[in-house]
Amino acid sequence: MRILLVCARPPLPLDSGGQVRVWNVARQLARRHRLDLLSFVHEDAPARHEPELRAVFENVAFVPRRRLSSLGAALAPGAEWLSFVRGNLGSLLRAAVSPRPLLSTAYDSPEMRARLREADRSGGYDLIYAETYPALSSVRDDLPALLTPVLLVEQNVESLAFGRQAEEARSPLLRPLMRWDVRKLAREELRFWRRVQVLGSPSGVDATHMEARSGRPVLVLENGVDVAWLSQRVAERRGDEVLFLGSFRYFQNVDALRWLLEEIWPRVVARAAGAAPRLRIVGRGADEALRRFVRAKGFDVDEGVDDVREALQRATVLLAPLRAGSGTKFKVLEAMASRLPVVTTPTGAEGLPVEPGRHLLLADGAQSAADAVGDLLASPERRDRLARAGRELAESYDWTGIVQRFEGQLLLALASPARFPFSHAHSPW
């Protein structure tokens, strides 16, 4: 097939789980199909890595857009939330007068609309494959008229993720506005889900949710892991380092870090028998509000890690206290593939067939998370047992098999539209 992959962000650099996912799926598809790339790119971060991208994609094109800013400020106490408003004022005003949510208006681009229309009219593609609905936001009203079949795979159910962000907003003025935007977002998702030929999700949990809301079957294109690459030794394991890992462009990681520093880490320190363990915070995309918060707690955000293997192989325990989000979490899979014991929440383990106590440790509160971390730091034998079982599970999530299985489902869906019905009719929303 000739496939046009449409993305909200370029697959490279590998700064987030979403980019890891898109890059590895594209590499697998390119073995059997011809791929072109059409991606948004932030105006303040010009597209890079074109030589690597052109090794996978025959043609590469970028559409600039302005990034939303200050997620950390939106969750900050006091008046810091005003920086979120100032940093996104234009997008917020457009969303306020539009029936569409902030996420859609931020990605609505005349240039992207023109490029997608031209790609469709050219007749040169057998499939338009979009990762996340914002990538298609510009052609929402054009979807019924497109001649090329469209596959939409959602990396998250965004209305669920942003719903959590709305509840965690510290400003009583900002919170009701965010709740209203989440309601618009839920309606917007449903419109897209009902208007594409094939709908996909990275986990069975999200697929079930999407099927219940849309009344349509949802294919599962799971998240995977490159076990061979993660196995290449680049650092030595320490015995007292707790790792927090994540892109701070995503609310889920901002919320998790704030919870860790405010409630979990003081409990870890309090129960330490001797010297307190080290906490290393690794990630990119932190805004100034979040950096100030982290510094005030006595830590720094390490944004200089170019090879995630160094962080995963050096740490003693991965702590992923996620309270929001959906889909399978890359950081959990990558840690298990790196033989790094994991402490996370039920949300962090969602979508994985894990057995708590065997593959990882689950915590449903700040004290239970601190206790789990303390127990692992004190017990090399237990860390080793978790590491071996986690690695064995991660090996079953190889990208090659995941993408090949999905291809079979996708070809069946495209060949049998009666089994995968969709409607060009306008949604009642």
Q: Are 46 and 6 in contact (CB under 8 A)?
A: no
Strand partners, 152: 130, 199
Q: What values do phi and psi take at 237, rounded to 5?
A: -70, 135
For residue 426, the model assigns a pLDDT of 34
- pTM, full prediction: 0.83
Taking residues 193-219, what's their average pLDDT?
93
120-132 tens-digit pLDDT: 999 999 999 999 9
Domains within the chain, CATH numbers bracketed: 2-224+399-419 (3.40.50.2000), 227-396 (3.40.50.2000)
Long-range contacts of 85-89 (CB under 8 A, 24+ apart): 85/174, 87/287
Is the separation of the CB atoms in 330 and 21 below 8 Å? yes
pLDDT tops 50 at residue 428: no
What integer is the mean pLDDT of 17-30? 93
Task: Please report which confidence band the pLDDT of residue 325 belongs to, taking 50, 70 and 90 as the band edges.
Answer: low
Tens digits of per-residue pLDDT, 64-115? 987 666 655 555 555 566 666 666 667 777 777 788 998 888 899 999 999 9
Of residues 33 and 180, more confidently modeled: 33
Question: How much is the pLDDT for 44?
Answer: 52
Instruction: Give the whole-angstrom CA distance, residue 394 versus residue 23.
Output: 19
What does the pLDDT look like over 287-299, one tens digit per residue? Answer: 888 899 999 999 9
* Position 13 confidence tier, pLDDT thresholds 50, 70, 90: confident
409: left (phi over 0), alpha (psi -120 to 50) or beta: alpha
Token pair of 366 as six digits:
């700040």
The Cα-based distances of 253 to 263, 285, 298 in angstroms read 15, 11, 19
Dihedral of CA atoms 9, 49, 251, 308 in degrees, nearest 10, equals 150
